[in-house]
């Protein structure tokens, strides 16, 4: 059967490629962003309790109200910002579904969407499948800072949306308050929608504060925030997150959501509604992952890799330019096959596959795994 692909240039994701290579060669897998340790037994028990209590049928389309209520309280607790639980918060099947739904709800043929590269790989296909045009702004290595003048120049009458991601995957950097103020200034007075990917909001290091778009009133009025419970609570396979936005935006979001997934895993929603009552379950995450980051970096301090400590997320970028000038994809594959350690090359997320000779490593792993990985890195 002959057909014209809507995504003719999309191949298997680099995450699948590197994980498959890791499995084939029995390598330590620091490529994909998932923990190899258990989540809190209390949360798992709460899910079992919800199942045994009969919460096994469809949940309400926008999500269980008591979960939306506790999410609303979380925004007030962390940011002194309000989202109405009934009309401005929707529970989703992970942050990726929330991102896809937001793009589907607003991006039409020939609309332009600005993204910052290196960019998480779900953004571009979702834009293109809905007829939109990707406008790239390359973050400047090694600090991955934003040239806001370039952003301003790339905004046009066709700009429908800007996607921001802080803390940023894959670079491990964050947008500062100054960044967000500049962003607000250059988009103020426009109808540009902001899609804010805040999956790693609870993982920010060294005294920095997460600069959510909800802290900036003009941005908040035009923004959809997406977040992930799977990333936050070490259960990526549960695929559950949420979106928050002003009522007018959320109404359009839900029009797509109801025909996309309709509703999300019911017993997990019931469990999270109870688990989130205690803020420590998310406020202690930064210290937990900072200890992981610091252990990993201390273990490789005498290696030939160069780095600037990750500012957020559970990813660390390492510069290997003192070791080889190989293309990062080839070096990542060789590192997996010959040395038994899998990582992610950043060029695949960059504009025109720009290669800065850096690889991304996930440190959401047990201490033993990090020690074994570090031994390999120090041997190269």
Is 7 inside a domain boundary? no
Looking at the structure, tell me whether residues 155 and 183 fall in a common domain. yes
Is 159 inside a domain boundary? yes
Structure confidence by residue, pLDDT tens digits, 10-49: 878 898 999 999 999 999 999 988 899 999 999 999 999 9
Which among 250, 298, 240, 226 has a CA at the least distance from the CA of 272? 240
Taken in order 335, 337, 343, 346, the sign of the CA dihedral is positive
Average pLDDT over residues 134-162: 96
Looking at the structure, tell me whether residues 260 and 328 fall in a common domain. no
Torsion of CA 297, 303, 304, 310, to 10 degrees: 0
Which among 132, 101, 130, 128 has a CA at the least distance from the CA of 225? 101
SS3 breakdown of the chain: % helix, strand, coil, rounded to 5?
A: 45, 15, 40
Looking at residue 265, its pLDDT comes to 97
Looking at the structure, tell me whether residues 78 and 195 fall in a common domain. yes
Looking at the structure, tell me whether residues 141 and 171 fall in a common domain. yes
Looking at the structure, tell me whether residues 338 and 190 fall in a common domain. no
Looking at residue 59, its pLDDT comes to 98
Looking at the structure, tell me whether residues 244 and 345 fall in a common domain. no
Looking at the structure, tell me whether residues 139 and 175 fall in a common domain. yes
Give the integer Cα–Cα distance in Å for 244 and 255. 14
CATH number of the structural domain spanning residue 216: 3.40.640.10
Looking at the structure, tell me whether residues 352 and 374 fall in a common domain. yes
Is 333 inside a domain boundary? yes
Residue linked to tokens 């594959």: 333
Its pTM stands at: 0.96
Q: Is 313 exposed, middle or buried (0-12, 13-18, 19+ CB in 10 A)?
A: buried
Give the integer Cα–Cα distance in Å for 83 and 69. 9
Looking at residue 35, its pLDDT comes to 93
Looking at the structure, tell me whether residues 114 and 190 fall in a common domain. yes
Number of structural domains found in the chain: 2
Give the integer Cα–Cα distance in Å for 25 and 27. 5
Residue linked to tokens 């992981």: 292
Among 239, 255, 279, the domain-final residue is 279
Among 263, 279, 295, the domain-final residue is 279
Is 175 inside a domain boundary? yes
9 vs 176 pLDDT, higher one: 176
Is 353 inside a domain boundary? yes
Is 2's pLDDT higher than 90?
A: no
Looking at residue 3, its pLDDT comes to 85
Looking at the structure, tell me whether residues 274 and 288 fall in a common domain. no
Is 4's pLDDT higher than 90?
A: no
Is 41 inside a domain boundary? no
Domain carrying residue 23: 14-32+284-379
CATH number of the structural domain spanning residue 371: 3.90.1150.10
Structure confidence by residue, pLDDT tens digits, 318-328: 999 999 999 99
Is residue 320 within 8 A of residue 358, CB to CB? The reply is yes
Looking at the structure, tell me whether residues 290 and 232 fall in a common domain. no
Reported confidence tier of residue 103, pLDDT bands at 50, 70, 90: very high
Looking at residue 315, its pLDDT comes to 98
Structure confidence by residue, pLDDT tens digits, 350-361: 999 999 999 999
Is 335 inside a domain boundary? yes
Looking at the structure, tell me whether residues 114 and 200 fall in a common domain. yes
Among 226, 247, 279, the domain-final residue is 279
Structure confidence by residue, pLDDT tens digits, 263-315: 999 999 999 999 999 999 999 999 999 999 999 999 999 999 999 999 999 99
Looking at residue 11, its pLDDT comes to 78
**Percent of the residues in the chain that have a pLDDT greater than 70, as a whole number:** 100
Is 89 inside a domain boundary? yes
Is 69's pLDDT higher than 90?
A: yes
């Amino acid at each position: 059967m002959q057909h014209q692909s809507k995504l003719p240039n999309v191949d298997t994701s680099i995450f699948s490629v590197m994980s498959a290579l890791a499995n084939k060669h029995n390598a330590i897998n620091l490529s994909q962003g998932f923990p190899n340790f258990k989540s809190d037994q209390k949360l798992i028990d709460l899910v079992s309790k919800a199942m045994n209590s009969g919460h096994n049928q469809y949940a309400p389309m926008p999500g269980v109200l008591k979960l939306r209520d506790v999410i609303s309280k979380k925004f007030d607790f962390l940011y002194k910002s309000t989202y109405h639980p009934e009309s401005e918060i929707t529970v989703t099947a992970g942050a990726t579904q929330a991102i896809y739904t937001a793009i589907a709800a607003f991006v039409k043929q020939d609309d332009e969407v600005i993204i910052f590269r290196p960019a998480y790989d779900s953004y571009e296909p979702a834009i293109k499948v809905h007829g939109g045009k990707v406008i790239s702004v390359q973050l400047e290595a090694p600090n991955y800072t934003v040239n806001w003048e370039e952003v301003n120049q790339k905004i046009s009458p066709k700009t429908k949306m800007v996607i921001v991601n802080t803390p940023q995957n894959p670079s491990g950097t964050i947008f500062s308050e100054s960044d967000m103020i500049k962003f607000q200034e250059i988009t103020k007075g426009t109808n540009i929608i902001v899609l804010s990917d805040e999956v790693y909001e609870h993982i920010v290091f060294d005294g920095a504060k997460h600069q959510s778009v909800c802290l900036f009133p003009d941005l908040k009025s035009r923004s959809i925030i997406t977040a992930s419970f799977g990333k936050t609570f070490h259960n990526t396979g549960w695929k559950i997150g949420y979106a928050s936005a002003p009522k007018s935006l959320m109404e359009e979001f839900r029009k797509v959501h109801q025909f996309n997934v309709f509703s999300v895993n019911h017993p997990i929603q019931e469990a999270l509604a109870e688990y989130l009552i205690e803020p420590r379950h998310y406020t202690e995450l930064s210290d937990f992952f900072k200890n992981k980051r610091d252990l990993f970096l201390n273990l490789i301090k005498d290696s030939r890799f160069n780095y600037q400590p990750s500012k957020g997320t559970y990813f660390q970028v390492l510069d290997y330019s003192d070791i080889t000038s190989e293309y990062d994809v080839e070096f990542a594959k060789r590192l997996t096959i010959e040395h038994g350690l899998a990582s992610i090359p950043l060029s695949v997320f960059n504009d025109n596959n720009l290669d800065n000779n850096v690889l991304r490593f996930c440190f959401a792993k047990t201490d033993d795994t990090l020690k074994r990985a570090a031994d390999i890195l120090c041997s190269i």
